[in-house]
Structure 1
Amino acid sequence: MNFDFDLFVIGGGSGGARAARVASGEHGAKVGLAEEYRMGGTCVIRGCVPKKLMVFASELGNRADDARAYGWEIERGGFDWQHFHGKLREELDRLEGIYRRNLERAGVEIFDCRATLHDAHTVKLSDGRRVTAKHILIATGGRPFVPETVEGWENANTSNDVFLLDELPKSVLIVGGGYIACEFACILNGLGVEVTQFYRGAQILRGFDEEARGHISELIKESGVDLHVGTDVKELDKRDDGVWVKATDGREAVYDRVLYATGRRPNIEGLGLEELGVEIGRRGQIVVDEWSQTSVPSIFAVGDVTDRINLTPVAIREGHAFADTMFGGKKIKPDHELVPGAVFTQPEYGYVGMTEEEARDQGPIEVYCATFMPMKNAFIGKTARVLFKLIVCAETRKVLGCHIVSEEAGELIQLAAVAIKMGATKEDFDRTVAVHPTVSEELVTMRTPVRTA
């Protein structure tokens, strides 16, 4: 059978774009790609990139306060959202253009429309056309989830909406306790918004290391976020003066905005997957094997839509491995072991490997941990403390996990991850000479475990 394309990709985000570009530009496949919104996907348009730029902006007010404490004659003014937001739009436009140009240079044919599946080799485009492909790759990412069981849920915003706001609200309620909720709580607080945060669980950042979770929770509250755990929204109502909220603990208040950050779901609605027999998991994810192949042999999936590890660099690795395997004859599986990550709270949380809880379930461990006030803060009387933690296998001496809560923790954990990925032992860390004076020297100066398990 003759196909229009060797590969057709649905989704122009990080994973789909990488797969398309490598398959076409490096391996000579004929590739088509459909994107219904903007090229670049969640990360570039409504995720990592704009969020990190907002992190940068939100940190500068406190740095002005620090500068004054260090002796600089600086007055802190208000934040100009219009100025920032205009530059943000320009930057996202620039990055989207780069994505598009890179695909075009690689020879990928782009379709700016929605695509769904007709059969195992045919894609329906929203402009009425149909195209065929030997292989189809689903890379449609995820979307914010808002529980529709809450009365008045339609009056809430999601993280996608934050980047589109015409003006910054004076007050906001953030619902959720995951990394997106905590990041936006810190960002908006840093920009001068009065932030309240509800989380129905007992502690924020479920799934992360418990000691780090507790440390970050205290720092968030100290920074001015009004955090309430064990609390959820019972009812929402749009009023003239904002959004009225009734909480499960009985409290009532009105906020300019209510932002739900209660998780994301794989973006598969209306694609036609189930009708073709593609297996869907209980969380709505596309089930794939180690080669990113679905239960229908010609259909593959990468990125957040598979709900493996929902990080942009992982989606890129998955897309690249798929293209190399399918069209480059290299047989490469994406590596999901010891993937580092960062939560861009203030301060940041960088992590790689196991949590203490995961590690102790697998065998005897030693835990090395230090919390202290860094020199930079101590000098001006700031009370924020950093946390450095290593989890070590008591038998092999390998470092199983590293957790850092500190300014620039995302930068620090990248370097620690290289050593841990290589199989470094605690003694390898101990033999490494410290860089002094830095906060990161604590990684190689912790000599005595604080506990064993």
Structure 2
Amino acid sequence: MPRCRAARAERYRRRMRDPMKVLVVGGGPAGMSAALHACELGAQVTLLEADQVGGTSLNRGPAPVRTLARAARLARDWGSWTRFGLEGAPPVPNLAALQGNAARVARYAHERKHLAEHLRASGIDLVEGTGVVRFADDHAIQADDGHVWTADRVIIAVGGRAAALPVPGGELASTYDDLLTLKALPEHAVIIGGADTGCQIASILGDFGIRVTVFEATPALLASADPDVSAGMRSAFEARGLTIHTGTLVERLEKHASRITVTYRGPNGSDRVIGDAVFAAIGWPANIETLGLERAGVAAGRGGLVVDEYLRTNVEHIFAAGDVTGHYKLVQTARSEGRIAGRNAVLGPVQRADYEIIPTGSFTDPEYGQVGLTEPAAALNGEVVSAVARYDDLVRPVVDGRPDGFCKLLVDRSHRSVVGAHVLGEYSAEIVQVAAAMMAAGMTIEQIAGLSYAFPTVTEAIGMAAQNICRQLDLGGFPQVWSELDVSQEKTARLP
């Protein structure tokens, strides 16, 4: 047996005789992933959860709220019935029933998938309902009732929360979570903050026929998105009657009877608007204030805990994963970081966290998805070739009655590799996931252009954009397709 393999086998046998103790704090996607992976590697794992495993993503956030988004999308689709020859009265939202269905989805992982039972059956000592816990020292975590857990390694995965609005009257603002506890749908909702969360709240309420005003401090509605996607989203919102203010700061909130006055300052000076409900979506800080980090000597930075490429904090045996690291506050990133933290906690620093290819999707209306670099960011790294395939040049979106949207690919000219993909329109997340798989496989743009794509699908947009880029680079002899022969003024004026 080779020496390195024998050494690994001996370490495994030693762990089985005297398993390493790993303590995971936080039972969301990152914590569950870390606990399961550490357990598979032979560690004795204890998982502490303040409330119920599943975290925000299953219990309060993406899963149940996106169920509301689905209902809102169905309400929106009523507007296209007549186009398909359908007749009938518009659906009327029943808020209690909408929230009940969202709660059903939140319970699904617990009642149908037996999430807690699965963790325990895997050999994990799961402790739910601990309440607030904090470090007693660098190897021990203590609950308010005095219970103490000790371990050789600690993984912090306590997640984050919606940021409070730091202006006078900020406590009057609701958050993303409060969509599930509304007593009535407002007539006019004010959303403070654009980006993913703010735009999703705006989309849900807008599709339910509510008047919506959005305030975003940065010049772009979606500051982290590709400029074409951000501009397209704003145009789509405004076409639906939503009011968008960018480059605008909210200065204070004031309660007047049952309504809230929002005073703001924008490019044209100060003004105010009155809403029935105000939602703040301005950030997602890490839940680290009550952890007693100073007792363990763990350092925190502005975005969360300071970690290295192996997800170790400055204390060598304490790791962190998920929103608490401040890297990418996404479920998919949390799961990946959890696996890596669990592995490195047991085996030592053997795997680095990789953030190069992270596909993301939003349940906004219209949807948007992205992976890799935006066009401005890609241009800083070298010469980039881009192309756009428009939805109304594809059969499937036209068949579905949703022809507004596009797929944009960015390719490094010298390596002919895709460095970014950005989609606005129906099925964006699925299209971006396909692009992400192509990027991870290292496919060249001519290989992507040469693939056969199922017809009629929206994913054909990837092939169409890829062929466009190949023509620009004089690769493969891909001819123009019928949809690109229309150069009318109406066509060339479309976004992006």
Q: Structure 1 length as normaliser, TM-score?
A: 0.92
Is the 8 Å Cα contact of residues 274 and 280 (structure 1) preserved in structure 2?
A: no
Residue identity matched to 2:134: T
* Structure with the larger helix share: 2
Deviates more, 1:319-328 or 1:303-312: 319-328
* 1:50 to partner: Cα distance: 1.4
* Cα distance change of structure 1 residues 253 and 297 upon mapping to structure 2, 3 Å threshold: same
Cα distance in 1 for residues equivalent to 2:235 and 2:183: 32
Q: 2:36 aligns with which of 21, 39, 42?
A: 21
Match of 1:422? 441
Cα distance per residue 1:270-293 (max 9 Å; x no partner): 11113432121233x101112211
Match of 1:127 in 2: 145
- The whole-number CA distance in structure 2 between the counterparts of 1:21 and 1:302 is 14
| Per-residue deviation, residues 67-116 of structure 1 (Å, max 9, x unmatched) | 23210123212111111211222331232453322222123223321211
1:16-48 deviations in Å (ceiling 9; x for gaps) = 012112323x23422222222332112112222
Question: Is 99-108 or 54-63 further displaced after alignment?
Answer: 99-108
The match for 1:38 is 52
Offset at residue 334 of structure 1 (A): 3.3
Distance between the aligned counterparts of 1:164 and 1:203, measured in 2?
30
Q: Show CA shifts across 1:312-335 (max 9, x none).
A: 111111112222333368933333
Q: Choose 1 or 2 for highest CA Rg.
A: 2
SS in 2 for 1:352: strand
User: Could you say if the C-alpha distance between residues 380 and 69 of structure 1 is closer, same or farther in structure 2, counting changes exceeding 3 Å?
Assistant: farther
Q: Does 1:343 pair with 2:362?
A: yes
How many residue pairs get matched? 446
Q: 1:223 to 1:232 in 2, by over 3 A?
A: same
Name 2:6's counterpart in structure 1.
none
The AA in structure 2 aligned to 1:125 is A
Alignment of 1:48-59 (within 5 A): 48-59=62-73
> Are 2:306 and 1:292 aligned?
no
Offset at residue 378 of structure 1 (A): 5.6
Counterpart CA distance in 2 for 1:329 and 1:295 is 15
Shift of 1:252: 2.5
CA contact (8 A) 1:9 1:32 kept: yes
Equivalent residue number for residue 365 of structure 1: 384
**For residue 180 of structure 1, what is the aligned residue in structure 2?**
197
Q: CA RMSD in A?
A: 2.4
Residue aligning to 1:170: 187
1:241-266 deviations in Å (ceiling 9; x for gaps):
22122222433232111100011111
What are the ranges of 5 or more consecutive residues in structure 1 without an aligned counterpart? none
Q: Write the letter of the residue equivalent to 1:259.
A: F
Secondary structure of 1:318's partner?
helix
**Partner residue of 1:398?**
417
Q: After the TM superposition, which residues 294-443 of structure 1 pair with which residues of structure 2 at under 5 Å, given as runs?
A: 294-327=313-346, 331-373=350-392, 385-443=404-462
Aligned to 1:101: 117
Partner AA of 2:116 in structure 1 = R
Q: Residues 247 and 426 from structure 1, CA distance in 2 versus in 1: closer, same or farther, beyond 3 angstroms? A: same
Question: 1:186-211 CA deviation, whole Å, 9 max, x = no partner?
Answer: 11111222211111221111122111
Consecutive unaligned residues of structure 2, counting only runs of 5 or more, are 1-17, 474-496
Give the alignment partner of residue 11 of structure 1, picking from 26, 33, 40: 26
User: What code does the residue aligned with 1:316 have?
Assistant: R
Partner residue, 2:230? 213
Q: Find the aligned partners of 1:242 and 1:266 in 2 and give their Cα distance.
A: 31
Greater share of strand: 1
Residues of 1 paired with 2:65 and 2:436: CA distance?
Answer: 23
Between 1:55-64 and 1:274-283, the stretch displaced more is: 274-283
* One-letter identity of the residue aligned with 1:251: D
> Does the 8 Å contact 1:359/1:365 carry over to 2?
yes
* Residue type of the alignment partner of 2:259: G
User: SS of 1:420's equivalent?
Assistant: helix
Contact persistence 2:41–2:346 (CA under 8 A):
yes
Match for 1:6: what amino acid?
A: K
Checking the alignment, whether the CA contact within 8 Å between 2:298 and 2:314 is kept in structure 1 is yes
Q: Give the Cα separation in 1 of the matches to 2:287 and 2:411.
A: 38
